[in-house]
Amino acid sequence: MAEYGPRTPEERYGPALEKARAEIASRDPVVMASWAGVRYEPAGEGSGYFEIPFLNESYRVSYPEAEIRDSKGLEPPIPTRLILLHYLFFASGVPLADRWIAFRELPGGMGYDAAFQQRANRRLAQAFGRRLEAFEKAARALGGIRLDVGDAAFAFNVLPRVRMAVVLYRGDEEFKPSANVIYDGAAGRYLPTEDLAVLGDILASMLTRLAGS
């Protein structure tokens, strides 16, 4: 009988990555760049590359191969590659909504909400609910913009047209600290909800890592 161990990220996400690459190759790169709000640099004979800022890094995505490298020439983890390719493919070109919504308000968000609460909101509350100064330092290191809500809150331009924010409440003798990751209302027009859930996880991971949590 064959033995099955834990699957590698390549085994788990490889088919999705190949599908995303094929989708990118099937589209006009100039249109994708315009709708996603990113730069496209032609390189001749139907090839070129996109420059996509993602949090505190910039990535180059080749066209039509859809190979991705960071500013050091390294290939990012598969979840990051999928998000960048999906962003190019799904970008609709609509402007930011300039209103915040909870994760559960995204299309199909209720189905992912329990996992999202654990991987993003509760994790951030545990890390920063009683360490607001550490949260502020980490948020500023990630390019966060202060918001006047909660006990501490910062907005992040995660992708050119995907904006997220983290709102913290320190709690008191009666209520535990809490955190809420929220999204600009247009986020669902740029990425599938499953990818937006992964972004919540990535944002929480980066903030806690920057704070040494």
Q: What are the pLDDT digits (tens) for 12-45? A: 778 999 999 999 999 999 999 999 999 999 998 8
Q: In 156-170, which positions are buried (b, 16+ CB within 10 angstroms) versus exposed (e)? A: bbbbbbbbbbbbbbb
Can you give the residue ranges of every domain in the chain?
Answer: 9-90, 100-210
The answer on pLDDT for 147 being more than 50 is yes
Write down the pTM of the prediction: 0.91
**212 vs 203, higher pLDDT:** 203
Between CA 40 and CA 34 the distance in angstroms is 9
For 100-210, the fitting CATH number among 3.30.310, 1.10.1060, 3.40.109, 2.10.25 is: 3.30.310
Helices (H), 46-176: 78-90, 109-116, 122-128, 132-141
Helices (H), 1-63: 9-25, 29-36
Q: In 124-143, which positions are buried (b, 16+ CB within 10 angstroms) versus exposed (e)? A: bbebbbebbebbbebbeebe
State the average pLDDT for the chain: 93
The answer on pLDDT for 10 being more than 80 is no
pLDDT band at 175 (very low <50, low <70, confident <90, very high): confident
